[in-house]
Every structure is written in structure tokens, then in C-alpha cells.
Chains A and B, each alone.
Chain A
Amino acid sequence: MARPRLILGLSAYYHDSAAALLADGEIVAAAQEERFTRKKHDARFPENAVRYCLSEVGAGLSDVDFVAFYDKPFIKFERLLETYLSYAPRGFASFAKAIPIWLREKLFLKDLLIRELKRDAPGFDWAERLRFSEHHLSHAASAFFPSPFERAAILTMDGVGEWATTSLAVGSGNRIDMQREIHFPHSIGLLYSAFTYYTGFKVNSGEYKVMGLAPYGEPRYARTILDHLVDIKPDGSFRLDQRYFNYCAGLTMTSERFHQLFGGPPRREDEPLTQRHMDLAASIQAVTEQMVLGLARAVARETGERNLCLAGGVALNCVANGKLVRDGCFERIWIQPAAGDAGGALGAALAIHHLQDEGPRQVAQGDSMRGSYLGPQFAQAEIEARLTAFGARFRVLTDDELYAAASADLAQGKALGWFQGRMEFGPRALGGRSILGDPRSASMQSVLNLKVKFRESFRPFAPSVLREAVADWFELGGDSPYMLLVADVVARRRIPMTQAQSALFGIDKLNVSRSDIPAVTHIDYSARIQTVHAETNPRYHALISAFAARTGCPVLVNTSFNVRGEPIVCTPEDAFRCFMGTGIESLVVGNCYLEKAAQDPSLQRNYESAFELD
């Protein structure tokens, strides 16, 4: 049998390095390096992820036909130089910090990559086999080629790639035609990050927190943002008034003029969150939604396409995505589950396969992402050996016994670690590496946040619901397999607020039950939904079905299997460590069932301070 044509995609050296592998154009494996090194957002060369991807097809690096890198460093350097030049002499401090890294490493990225690749395959002419794809083309390829559409409009939005921050394209068959781009410094991602910074969260990881905080506030600054910071044009494009920002020339996101406009300096990390911060979060969320909708409507008008594909970090804003679906400017929307830079590795490989090699494209039913379960898995015998070596005490159950025991624990309000099959690719846990809970419990949100995840009490949790039952519980008719759409709980399951509850301010409303499934219902009745499909994750589907048979509720709380600041678990050992360091009460790994009470207490550890906070 002929050896398959292998294309390895890489993203690295900025944040979230990752590898993805295509075999004859089919996506066979993808993983983020952080999962192996246990360092969140690890940006180093993804040597472990590369090794893992190749092991899926029994190949070595010397069997790879092409390696594709997800952006073009020279063009990025050009942007850097031109930006510094246009702001000079301002920006010297930023220049002095950035230039050494470029002169030592990033400018010589091709040599650096070749050096890394030669370590495992020294005899190859990697200069010939190494290809580069533009950042937004990588995102566009990751959005369109795995999608279920023969034709679609493509919208990619993020902080910044080389020059582009937003791009509009049309995909058809195995081609992508770039139509227009919006260039740095005008960027939805950077605008959102500016408010992430201003509200006291970390840029590049705290954006989720701003989105989670938004429903507690009122968008009372939205008008100010639109009047001063952003100029939205009729064709959906936009300009940011750079006098309010400092990211072009400084080492902060916002300028003094920004602070004056919004009435004070940025919140320090240790300062308490106030109603003002929640109102700021609500305002930037509202403006972002308006900008995304404006762009999408313009793309629909210009291209006449009925389908839309999304990628780029902004496509992880599931609240905006939900509004886009309900707006109806496109009939169908598909979002790449690894929409951030990790997904660029996959997009770069797909761009080389389809656009450069003109490889044919098979449009799959559903999509070609295999449910995003593209990471490592462990056979039952290996799980038992690894857990035994770690000193874990477990029982091996049949499938039916396992679903019964796990669903009973969940119905009793226990937090359950659920480790099955292949690890997910992308930021969301989708029932492969998840912590689960009972959504009917009013206390589940605070228990999971404070005792299991060690994170802020306001952070919302997302529901997993059987696909066939989604319309009974949420105002969503279609699929949302990757937890990237937000929709409201159906009206008949909502609990209206009393007058006294309505009078509460902001985060005080946190403990008000809003529906029959309060643990996954946000303060505005919204929920970030994952539809669970028997075809892509039969074991998770079977567990939720068992829980539904026991309780009448085909919904579970699903949060990623990690604590704050920790990458999602990858191996059975990672899962056991997290289990022993947190309030998780039972753990299922493959067919092994573990109860906290049965474990050796000496294996418990202080896990809360083991990871740097995000």
C-alpha cells in the first residue's frame, strides 16, 4: 500500500503552539503543546505535539512530505518596523524590548524551525519541505476546508496576524479567494483586549472573563466607545482612534486619554470588581457584537453566499456567535473549534494541501473535525497500568455499570471527572477531558468554581445537552457541537426574578436561580451550549442518556478538566493528580471508576497554588 502523503502543520513562538497532521488531506491528529508540557499557553516549538501527531500514523518526521508554518515572520517584522517608524521617537521602550527577541530568534525563524526539525530527521533538506502560510489565510483555511459547506463566505477576526486583523474571503471547493482585509492597528481583537486589560484581566487569556462578566452589567459605556474609540463604516469595516490606545508604541494596551474617558486608571489585579467594571464589560461586549454583525451582514451582501465560516480568536466569542446565528444574515454558520492560533497549525497544513498542492476536498457530513477529538487516547490496559503505578485505587466496571455509577454520583450532586477517548483540540473540553456536574443544583456553580476550579465565583458554566433534546431546553434548533454558540434557556424552564431580586446589583444576582437548570443558566437566561452527538462521542452521549433516564434531565454541567491556570489534562496521571488536588469526588478514566474516599490520603496534594493564575 502506498504511504499516505503527510503534511504537518505548526504554530509556535507566539502563544498556544500546536501541531496538526494531515494524511492524504484527511485530518488525523492535532494537539496543543501545553497539554504535554503542562505549561499554559506554551509557545515553544511543539516537539511533543509533533511526536504525538506522527505516532497516530506510525510515522517519523522523515516521512513527512511538507511542514507548514502558520504565519510569515518577515511580513510581521515589516509591520513592526513600519509601526515603530511611524510612531518614532515614541515607542522606544517597546522597541527596546521587542527588537532583541526578533534579532535573536524570530527573524531567523526558518533557521530555528529547520534546526528543531533536524534534531529528529537530520538527513532531510528541510529548507525545501518547509512552507509558510499567511496568518489569516491559515485561519480561513481552518474555517472553510473542514466545514460541511461546498461554498461559503469566510470571516476571520483576531488580534493581529502579519498585517491583517480581519479578513473576508469566499471558499469554493478546494479554493479560497481573499476579498478584503482590515489591517493593524484597527482590530476587534485588540479593542476587546484593551478592555480586558483595563478591567484588570490578563491580555490573551482574560477575554473569557470579560465575556462572562458582561451580563452582570449594563452597556452604559457603549455609546462612549462608539463616539470616541471606534468608527464603524457602512461596509462593516472600522477604524480605531489610536489616541486612546497605546499598543502600537507602548507596553500597555490603553493610553491616558482612554483612562480619562472612562473615569480612572486600569483596575489592578488585586482590586475588587465593581459595577463599573461590569458595565464596561457589558459595553465592550455590546460593541463587539455590533461590529461582528456589521461585518457579517456586509459579507452576506457582498458575496451573496448563504453559508458562513468563522475563525480567529474573536470567533471564540460565543455570545456574539449566538447573535450572529439569530440575526439570520446567513442560513448556516460553522465555526472552527480551535479558532485561536493553535488552529492556525491545522489551517496552515490545509492551505498547503488544498491551495498549493491543489489536493481535492471531500465535504463531510457534519464536518471533517471528528468532533475535535483529535488528541491522544489510552487503551484500557494502559490506563490500568498507569493508574496502578501512580498508587490509585480503582474498580474496573463494564460500560453499563460505569454509566450507572457515574450518573448516580452526578444525580447526588457530586463533581465527577470524566476522561474518555481522544483529547479535544481547541480550548473547550467536549466530554473527552471534562469535569461534570448536575445542572439542577443551585449550589453547583459556586461549588465547582471555588472548590474544584479555584476560580472567580462569577465564572459561568456551560451545559452539554443531548442533540435530540436541545430544543426542549434551549432556544436553539441546530447543532452546537463545539460549545461556540450561546442561546437562551426556553421560556417555560425559566424562573422569573422577584422584585427584591431584580433590585440587586450586578454580581449580587449571582446566586439567584434563573431556571430549572440554574448551574448552567447565566444571569440573562443565556447558556453556552454543547450539543452531544452519538456519532462523535458515543460514551458521553450514553452517560448523559443514563443521567436523563435517572433524573429526566438530558443536560450536564461540563467544564474543562483542569484548575485555574492549568492546561486541560492529557494523560490518566494528569487526571488523577487533578482529582487528588481538588474537590472532584469521583473519577472515571476509561472503564476505571475511582472514588475520593477510597484513595490513599497521603496522595492528596495542595493543588490550588500549583499553577500560575491566568
Chain B
Amino acid sequence: MSFVRELWRFIVARKKFWLIPVMLVMALLGSLIVLAEGSAVAPFIYTLF
């Protein structure tokens, strides 16, 4: 719960409400990817991520 609260505070502080649907879709898509694969491989350009 504290994570959701902090994320909400972050969105309010940055006024990025338009990110909410994007986050939901990405979280859904991301969850599918997580479920589909066994382990997350560290990306090649790790600076960026």
C-alpha cells in the first residue's frame, strides 16, 4: 500500500496524471512478460535502465 501511496504522491507532485493509464497498460503488459519468461535478463545497455 505504501508503494501505491508514494506513486500517487509522485504523480501529483509531477502533475503527470496522463501517465496513469500508460502505467496501467504497461504494468499489465509487463506482468504478462514477467509471467511468460522465467528470469529477467539484464539489458545490454544497463546505464539507461
| Cβ-defined contact, B48 with A159, below 8 A | yes
Stretch in A74-82, A255-263, A304-312, A507-515 touching the partner: A74-82
How far is B26's CA from A78's CA once the two chains are assembled, in angstroms? 12
Contact of A101 among B3, B14, B40, B47 (CB under 8 A): B40
| Cβ-defined contact, B14 with A251, below 8 A | no
Q: DSSP class of B's interface residues: helix, strand, loop or mixed? A: helix
Most A-side CB within 10 Å, residue of B41, B43, B45:
B45
Binary flags per residue of B20-48, CB closer than 8 Å to A gives 1, else 0: 00110011011101100100111111111
| Cβ-defined contact, B2 with A100, below 8 A | no
> Which residues of the other chain, B, contact A104 by a CB distance below 8 angstroms?
34, 40
A592 adjacent to chain B (CB < 8 Å): no
Contact of A80 among B3, B27, B29, B49 (CB under 8 A): B49
Which residues of chain A from 76 to 101 have a CB within 8 Å of any chain B CB?
78, 80-82, 84-85, 94-101
| Cβ-defined contact, B44 with A110, below 8 A | no
| Cβ-defined contact, A160 with B47, below 8 A | yes
Residues of B at under 8 Å CB distance from A?
2-3, 6-7, 10, 14, 16, 19, 22-23, 26-27, 29-31, 33-34, 37, 40-49
How far is B46's CA from A247's CA once the two chains are assembled, in angstroms? 10
| Cβ-defined contact, B43 with A98, below 8 A | yes
> Which residues of the other chain, A, contact B43 by a CB distance below 8 angstroms?
94, 97-98, 101, 251
| Cβ-defined contact, B30 with A103, below 8 A | yes
16 additional A-B residue pairs with CB within 8 Å, beyond A99-B34, A108-B3, A190-B47: A15-B47, A82-B19, A98-B43, A98-B49, A99-B29, A100-B37, A101-B40, A101-B42, A101-B43, A102-B30, A103-B27, A111-B2, A160-B48, A193-B47, A203-B44, A204-B47
15 contacts between A and B (CB under 8 A): A74-B10, A85-B22, A99-B29, A99-B33, A99-B34, A100-B33, A102-B49, A103-B27, A104-B34, A159-B48, A189-B47, A190-B47, A247-B48, A252-B44, A252-B45
Closest A residue to B43 by beta carbon equals: A97
Most B-side CB within 10 Å, residue of A74, A75, A104, A251:
A74
How far is B46's CA from A94's CA once the two chains are assembled, in angstroms? 11
> Which residues of the other chain, B, contact A127 by a CB distance below 8 angstroms?
2
A611 adjacent to chain B (CB < 8 Å): no
> Which residues of the other chain, A, contact B29 by a CB distance below 8 angstroms?
95, 99
Closest B residue to A79 by beta carbon equals: B48
| Cβ-defined contact, A159 with B7, below 8 A | no
A124 adjacent to chain B (CB < 8 Å): no
Contact of A100 among B7, B23, B40, B44 (CB under 8 A): B40
How far is B42's CA from A15's CA once the two chains are assembled, in angstroms? 12
Residues of A at under 8 Å CB distance from B?
14-15, 43, 74-75, 78, 80-82, 84-85, 94-104, 106-108, 110-111, 127, 159-160, 189-190, 193, 203-204, 247, 251-253
Closest A residue to B41 by beta carbon equals: A97
Asked if A78 meets B16 with Cβ closer than 8 Å, knowing A100-B40, A101-B40, A159-B48, the reply is: yes
How far is B34's CA from A298's CA once the two chains are assembled, in angstroms? 46
Report B10 CB to chain A, min CB distance, Å.
5
Closest A residue to B42 by beta carbon equals: A101
Report B31 CB to chain A, min CB distance, Å.
7
| Cβ-defined contact, A14 with B6, below 8 A | no
Most A-side CB within 10 Å, residue of B6, B30, B47:
B47
Report B40 CB to chain A, min CB distance, Å.
4
Asked if A81 meets B23 with Cβ closer than 8 Å, knowing A96-B33, A100-B40, A103-B34, the reply is: yes
Most B-side CB within 10 Å, residue of A75, A78, A100, A106:
A100
| Cβ-defined contact, B33 with A251, below 8 A | no
Asked if A78 meets B33 with Cβ closer than 8 Å, knowing A14-B47, A104-B40, A251-B43, the reply is: no
Report B12 CB to chain A, min CB distance, Å.
12
| Cβ-defined contact, B34 with A74, below 8 A | no
How far is B48's CA from A15's CA once the two chains are assembled, in angstroms? 11
> Which residues of the other chain, A, contact B7 by a CB distance below 8 angstroms?
74
> Which residues of the other chain, B, contact A95 by a CB distance below 8 angstroms?
29
How far is B34's CA from A97's CA once the two chains are assembled, in angstroms? 9
> Which residues of the other chain, A, contact B10 by a CB distance below 8 angstroms?
74-75
How far is B27's CA from A15's CA once the two chains are assembled, in angstroms? 25
Contact of A111 among B3, B27, B46 (CB under 8 A): B3
Report A49 CB to chain B, min CB distance, Å.
20
> Which residues of the other chain, B, contact A107 by a CB distance below 8 angstroms?
3
> Which residues of the other chain, A, contact B37 by a CB distance below 8 angstroms?
100
Asked if A78 meets B19 with Cβ closer than 8 Å, knowing A108-B3, A203-B47, the reply is: yes
> Which residues of the other chain, B, contact A102 by a CB distance below 8 angstroms?
30, 49
Contact of B45 among A84, A100, A101, A253 (CB under 8 A): A253
| Cβ-defined contact, B26 with A99, below 8 A | yes
Report A195 CB to chain B, min CB distance, Å.
14
Report A501 CB to chain B, min CB distance, Å.
40
How far is B16's CA from A328's CA once the two chains are assembled, in angstroms? 43
How far is B45's CA from A159's CA once the two chains are assembled, in angstroms? 11
Most B-side CB within 10 Å, residue of A15, A94, A99, A160:
A99
> Which residues of the other chain, A, contact B41 by a CB distance below 8 angstroms?
97
How far is B3's CA from A203's CA once the two chains are assembled, in angstroms? 33
Report A449 CB to chain B, min CB distance, Å.
28
Report B38 CB to chain A, min CB distance, Å.
10
How far is B46's CA from A354's CA once the two chains are assembled, in angstroms? 31
> Which residues of the other chain, A, contact B14 by a CB distance below 8 angstroms?
75, 78
How far is B31's CA from A436's CA once the two chains are assembled, in angstroms? 53
Closest B residue to A253 by beta carbon equals: B45
Report A608 CB to chain B, min CB distance, Å.
26
